[in-house]
Amino acid sequence: MPNFEPLQNAIPLAPLKIAALEGCRDFANLVNSHLVDYRHLNPTHQVGNIAYQGYCEDTYLVECACPRFGSGEAKGIIRESIRGCDLFLMVDVCNYSLTYSVCGYENHMSPDNHFQDLKRIISAANGKARRINVIMPFLYEGRQHKRSKRESLDCALALRELVDMGVSNIITFDAHDPRVQNSIPLQGFDNFMPTYQFLKALTHSVPNFSIDNEHLMIISPDEGAMNRAVYFANILGVDMGMFYKRRDYSTIVNGKNPIVAHEFLGDSVEGKDVIIIDDMISSGESMLDVAKQLKDRKAGRVFVCTTFGLFTDGLEKFDEYYEKGYISKVVTTNLHYRRPELLERPYYLEADMSKFLASIIDSMNHNVSINHVQSPTEKIHKLLAKYHSR
């Protein structure tokens, strides 16, 4: 149950509306259902009062679309009034399952296509909304967050473009490097972490899961995931270790320097269950290599927790490593598109983020502090107390 107390003494900024682009409609429906439940079952305001018009609705979703011409060009359409509303736009730039036709050829939607569609819907809003907020769980071009030599700085440019179009707040999850928000210092940028949802999925689904220093250890697969691992280890009261990637900087393969080896820093993992935590699985090569090395060091069960599971090279390698016992579970969120066959794998667990995002939207619509939803520490302590008592 979300904490409604901060909302009781705050007035919504404007009537709430959610415009979900085609790539994330299913997830948006889940978020919308939670919002409807919040405001119908536990209304924090007088529903009949004209000051709270639009507060209690049967749905907050706005019908929108980006139809395309035969040449592949498109336009954005919002099919109902959004005048004076607090508009939240939801986009999943990772949904490659959508296709469109270009002169008779079928193209799959790329992150660039999704970002262009987002800008089309913002343009279709045409300055009528009271405020525009963008919910982009996987931050567009978030992996190109810094410049080295003669390179484009794509993520910063994209954020600047959204702000120039009138976007007030950008909500994302587990940004590859949240310092990219420095490109828009005067605008709202919120980066949320799914730590609580990871732990909830593991405690509800994994038998004999012991959360103590004798039986569990947190592993960072590289130096970039250190902050996530340190927080997780500290709040659970367990040890942590890390790998660092030794790369061959003389060559470039698929846009990056290939990894020569993973070197481990930390205490013994022998006999302990380990949780490898990171922001994403792209091809999964690094994650699988880390899992194998941990098993070679006589670790117990290996649980992989990542916010985004892209699996760009397919699932075959993960199937193989699961059959060999190198990995026991792979946990990802439902913030992005996941191929249907992944959901059927015996090792897959979903960390549901829809209720969490609904709480974020509700709090932002009331213009109250989101610290009570942003910091999962209290919720994790309650979950741990309940788990240990059980």
Kindly list the distances between the CA atom of residue 241 and the CA atoms of 123, 217, 267, in Å, as whole numbers in the listed order: 47, 8, 7
pLDDT at position 1 is 45
At 131, is the secondary structure helix, strand, or coil?
Answer: strand
Local structure of 209: helix, strand or coil: coil
Running along the chain, 390 residues long, what does each successive block of 10 average in pLDDT? 65 91 94 92 69 82 93 93 94 94 91 96 90 96 84 92 95 91 92 91 89 90 84 89 76 70 80 92 88 90 94 92 94 94 94 94 88 76 80
Q: Which of the 8 DSSP states describes residue 343? A: H
Neighbours of 152 (CB within 10 A): 10
Q: Are 132 and 89 in contact (CB under 8 A)?
A: yes
At position 22, the amino acid (one-letter code) is E
Task: Give the span between the Cα atoms of 34 and 4, in whole angstroms.
Answer: 13
> If you search the block for the tokens 């390179």, which residue do you land on?
151
Which pair of tokens denotes residue 125? 């809003």
In whole angstroms, what is the distance from residue 209 CA to residue 193 CA?
22
User: Helix, strand, coil proportions of the chain in percent (round to 5)?
Assistant: 35, 25, 40
What is the C-alpha separation between 196 and 231, in angstroms, rounded?
11
Cα(133)–Cα(130) distance, integer angstroms: 10
**Maximal CA-CA distance, the chain:** 68
Residue 130, amino acid: R
Enter the pTM of the model.
0.90
